[in-house]
Amino acid sequence: MDRRTAETPEIDWSKYPVPRVRHHVNSQAYLPAHQHLFVHHQYPPLRTDAEWGSWFANSKPASVLDLGCGRGAFLIRHALTHPNVNILGVEVRESLADYINGVISGEGLKNAHALWYTLANGLDWIQPGSIDYAVYLFPDPWPKKRHHKRRAFSQGFLKMVHRVLVPGGRLYLATDRENVDAYQREVLSASSLFSISPLMDDTTWPFRFTTDQQMFCDAKGIPYVRYAAEKC
């Protein structure tokens, strides 16, 4: 089922052919720069500050983050539905960030930007207490135990998200992988920074539009879970 509704503005996606992308970029990109002796020239650039003035027409900081924004369906739909809210997507695959920014400029959107960056290097360049909510939707599963270190979700991830959220701000989570859900709940339970909401459904999930992976799951009948972690 496609959860787009008549009230959800939509664009003609056929104008924007999706580039061919590898499933994963090189494995270095999922680990912080300080863990590498040599950093590959295609490693996502590090940041010391945000460039709100060049990312958003009103030059104001983002108040919403889409962490691991993929092909950007959620980001674009969020920007269309909330024209006065700046949303910043973070994506480790450069070609996808470029693709999304092409859609943003093609549609003349003023309040969205996709940043080629790896979450492994943190969000220190975002002001503390400035983000109303962040989403981390359908993350890469990295199912093999030895690859778990490439998952962005960790105690460090929770600390960095907690730091940027406003008091009571939420991190919205969705996954179609049971083992990812169990892993994330374990990480959350070991932290005192967030409280976990009950599972959400269409009536309690606050977004009326879908992500790319969610559309895939809906089309194939693959179940998924959604919930929020609220900043304590």
Ligand X SMILES: C[S@@+](CC[C@H](N)C(=O)[O-])C[C@H]1O[C@@H](n2cnc3c(N)ncnc32)[C@H](O)[C@@H]1O
Task: By CB under 6 A, name the binding residues for ligand X.
Answer: 30, 68-70, 90-93, 96, 118-120, 137-140, 152, 211-214
Among 111, 172, 168, CA closest to 139:
172
Q: How far is the CB of 94 from ligand X (least distance, A)?
A: 10
Per annotation, catalytic residue among 66, 124, 132, 140: 140
Give the tokens for residue 169.
Answer: 């701000």
User: Which CB atom, from 184 or from 214, has the smaller least distance to ligand X?
Assistant: 214
Dihedral over Cα of 185, 25, 77, 65: its sign:
positive
- In the chain, count H helices and then E strands: 6, 7
CB of 212 to ligand X, least distance (A): 4
How far lies 99's CA from each of 5, 74, 139, 191, in Å?
A: 25, 14, 19, 36
Least distance (Å) from ligand X to the CB of residue 123?
Answer: 11
Active site residue 140: yes
Task: Please check whether residue 61 is in contact with residue 70, taking contact to mean a CB–CB distance below 8 angstroms.
Answer: no
Cβ proximity to ligand X: between 68 and 169 the closer is: 68
Residue number of the CB closest to ligand X reads 70
Q: Which residues are catalytic?
A: 140
